[in-house]
Amino acid sequence: MGEAAVEIVKPRTDTREYRRIVLRNSLSVLLISDPDTDKAAASMDVSVGSFSDPEDFPGLAHFLEHMLFYASEKYPLEDSYSKYIAENFTARKGVGGWKHLLLHLDSPKTIPLLVSHGGSTNAFTTSEHTNYYFDVNSDCFEEALDRFAQFFVKPLMSADATTREIKAVDSENQKNLLSDAWRMNQLQKHISAEGHPYHKFSTGNWDTLEVKPKEKGLDTRQELIKFYEEHYSANLMHLVVYTKDSLDKIQSLVENKFQEVQNKDRSNFHIPGQPCTSEHVQILVKTVPIRQGHKLRVIWPITPSIHNYKEGPCRYLGHLIDHEGEGSLFYILKTLGWATSLSAGEGDWALQFSFFEVVIDLTDAGQEHMQDIVGLLFKYISLLQETGVCPWIFDEGLIRKTSLGEIDGFLSTICEIAFHYQDKIPPIAYVVNVSSNMQIYPPEDWLVGSSLPSKFSPDLIRKVLDKLAPDNVRIFWESRNFEGHTDMVEPWYGTAYSIEKITGSMIQQWMLAAPNKHLHLPASNEFIPTDLSLKYVQEKAKFPVLLRKSSYSTLWYKPDTMFSTPKAYVKIDFNCPFATSSPEADVLTGIFTQLLMDHLNEYAYYAQVAGLYYAINHTDSGFQVAVIGYNHKLWNLLKTVVEKITNFKVKPDRFLVIKEMVTKGYQNLKFQQPYKQATCYCSLILHDNTWPWMDGLEVIPHLEADDLAKFVPMLLSRAFLECYIAGNIEPKEAESMILHIEDIFYSGARPICQPLFPSQYLTNRVIKLDKGMSYFYPAKGLNPSDENSALVHYIQVHRDDFLPNVKLQLFALIAKQPAFHQLRSVEQLGYITVLMQSNYSGIQGVHFIVQSTAKGPGHIDSRIEEFLKMFESKLYAMSEDEFKSNVNALIDMKLEKHKNLSEESGFYWREINDGTLKFDRREAEVAALKNLTQKDLTDFFNEHIKVGAPRKKTLSVRVYGGQRTSEYEEEMNEPNQPDWVKIDDIFKFRKSQPLYGSFKGCHGHVKL
């Protein structure tokens, strides 16, 4: 075992300790000691990915990733690793709940495997890497790490498990077949050199892993073992271990657990250069997407910038081409009404090749001006060549576009700020990031990665810029307008496309014919924070306090007492009764919020670049303004946003663009995954006073700019502001902000807003299902071409209260892994198989969510009932020690500290938004858990969850895929049973049911 004396660069605010070691078997390890952590985590990154798939076995590397979770020689019981992790997990906070979790299932970059295992163990396969990771409570880490290590020591891959898991991989692939992201990614790969690994299909399916191998006399299991033996070697592995223990203790633990991993002294997979030959550039590919809309992808093969990460040439160019301020390419395209979004930067990359991509979402008008748009893009590239590389842009710094609340800084000033004041993230996310970096960067930069470019190199930037040339370009043009006008089909996803050759002279002509607009470089950024000092607040409040209350607003305030960061978090909910008065009002409110963002974009983009993010979102009760980031210039941005709201004027040309966007958004809802359709139906059935998306789609064609101009004054005429301000802001500052906003909206001879009448306060009421009744709602899948069916099996339990909350949470914790194992691993009902707790505006319950091509929703529903019967016996047989272990795991979950300001604020904002205001929820629920007995849990199960329980309330939403139309018709014709009722009309059903009381909207429910 060796230890390298390398100083690892880390943020100034990072108090964690790090140590790099190399085991005797050449396995490289980074140890991280964090005394403040509640969780322990580990990630193993293996330098083997889908590029290493044998020619006869597309998807084998990904399939192996699935199989390593099953069993090992030391722990031969199937799924025992996952069971152990699930019983000792701590659910991650601040990730948006179960809906957010499910959204990740659609990403072509990350392939989750054990989605329902408490969110604490997972893996993904990329072209050159496979990454395995987990987290558990700290006191369970040693055994969890031992089980994890066996993946790489002596895994077992039984013949039975192999056959079953091929079905899971096939189900995963079925889920992706109608996803434009997956389809377009594979099409780009398909149009490349056939002998290059980039050309391959990487997911795998039943045909590639079962049918074709058998035809060739190959045994999939033997090939799987052969692949593992050939490629999984300790010298190709990088491990990160993160716990609260000392570095010496972690080192001893790692040496003990991982020394048996074999070093076969393998070499990294060698990639034979660029995948695109002269045949694959200077092409225009027209392709037909699944969804409505038009998209232009302009792509150039380049040398990977990872080899020059300290110079950051692609980030420099990406920042400029990607910019949205005045004079930018996007600004011009937006002004012309041709584009609604633009992104630019390095896309797919490997160590030997890469692509620089510009992706533009086009309007219908833009679709008619493709040549002009490409011409303007090359004009902007010419401008960059003519003006040369600018030191001030490098020195000022850049921040890549990210989602709200995330900061990913690079280059000079802003890069330094972003790196040294980065938010702490959950250990499981941190270890994955770092283990992935270990394969690419030298040890000193394992934490930094490419986020701190420090060498200004005009020559390198110019070299990449020279590659962005007409003779090196690949243009992919997506539109359903091309349907029936293509002559080729991509074999794996069935994407229709055609290819035309384009020349440099053609693009020169497009440049000459393009509109003569004044393209120019961005201005200096006034939003870069210069005051990063921390403010002293005398009263260190543990929970949010009601700082101010009036007939116009409430202000909840929470100073930063945990994170010592120069950031703030501001949310203002505009509760407007007229926003929900009709489907037309609902749609117009949404258009209003998008137009506000549209009007602010050129100004606010600079704030985003400087790490200050804002959003104006349509909500169930009106709209919300959020500003999150460095506090120094936050008020400047917020004040401008508020002024834009008060002075709002409809621009007819922009109204038409946004209306087109919103219309396509509604139209594309039918292409959602069936499980998402089922969750939407479930929410529509349960939430009172909500409008279906079909109503919005029907009314939007008739709405004009004048309708919005008349509607906005009415929308704002009555409003109540619910505000939350947290972070590095003093109480007087917070109060001053809200007073200023009140003055703007409510003061003067003719105020914009007036306070609400008591009768106008909006509530969030939920349908109360009848006890002892099971309801089901059958629906055809909205896309007849989608063969996936889906089921949401919902059990409604109680209105938010600490004691029943913890009983439900404990049931969900204990049942989660057995449900996944039985329904997904054993019965192979579908790749998406989830059991999780649900919260509809304070009404607690549990969801089973399954998506499948193998079985119909009715069958899946019956299998969930059978699972609950099976689980009942396991619950009764549970030992007292097992019960206490699960209780302690749930207590540890609740005592887990928030990682950063956004996570803490999100927790408290949910209490405010739901109206529950139980800021001490975690402490109160821990107290309830400490007094909970095993009998309390079984009594709860028998009353609310058990099949046939007299007080049980169930709703099953069944979405039938295209291949199961006959099953849908049969179900529609079946008569109702005494305790099993079909919902024929959602709105008649809602009107017939009683409602739970609302936590929100009771004027005066909070007191100073």
Angle at 256 between CA 254 and CA 260, to 5 degrees: 100
Q: 548: which strand partners?
A: 555
Which residues are CB-neighbours of 355 under 8 A, at least 6 positions away?
A: 299, 300, 301, 302, 346, 347, 348, 349
490 is catalytic: no
DSSP string, 478-492: EEGGGTTS--EE-TT
Q: Where are the alpha helices (DSSP H) in 613-756?
A: 634-646, 652-667, 674-686, 693-699, 705-717, 731-746
Spatial contact of 847 and 794, defined as CB atoms under 8 Å apart: yes
Closest CA to 623 of 547, 702, 722: 722
- Please indicate whether residue 17 is annotated as part of the active site: no
Specify the amino acid at residue 74: K
Which pair of structure tokens corresponds to residue 139?
Answer: 């006191």
∠ Cα 34 39 42 (to 5°): 85
Helix (H) / strand (E) containing 629? strand 622-630
Q: Which helix (H) or strand (E) holds 143?
A: helix 141-149
Q: Residue 114 is encoded by which pair of tokens?
A: 């054990």
The terminus-to-terminus CA distance of the chain in angstroms comes to 62
CA-based Rg of the chain, rounded to a whole angstrom? 28
One DSSP character per residue, 940-1004 reads HHHHHTSTT-TT-EEEEEEEE-GGGHHHHHHHHHSPPBTTEEE-S-HHHHHHHS-BPPPSS--TT
Cβ pair 485, 393 in contact under 8 A? no
**Pick from 149, 897, 70, 96: nearest CA to 561:** 897
The answer to whether residues 737 and 725 touch, using CB atoms and an 8 Å cutoff, is yes
Q: List strands edge to edge, sheet with 294-302.
A: 339-349, 354-362, 294-302, 474-479, 283-287, 496-501, 488-489
Could you give the CA distance from residue 436 to residue 238 in angstroms, rounded to a whole number?
8
Among 608, 704, 696, residue whose Cα is nearest residue 655? 704
Reduced to 3 DSSP states, what percent helix, strand and coil does the chain have, rounded to the nearest 5? 45, 20, 35
Look-up of token digits 């399954």: 850
Alpha helix (H) residue ranges in 795-856:
802-819
| CA angle 76–81–87, rounded 5-degree value | 135
What tokens were used for 701?
């064609």
Q: Which are the contacts of 638, defined by CB distance < 8 A and separation ≥ 6? A: 570, 614, 625, 627, 737
Place of tokens 């704002």: 716
Active-site residue, from 78, 87, 165, 311: 165
Contact 558, 541 (CB under 8 A): yes
- The H or E element that residue 723 is part of is strand 720-727
Q: Are 625 and 638 in contact (CB under 8 A)?
A: yes
Please give the positions annotated as active site: 65, 165
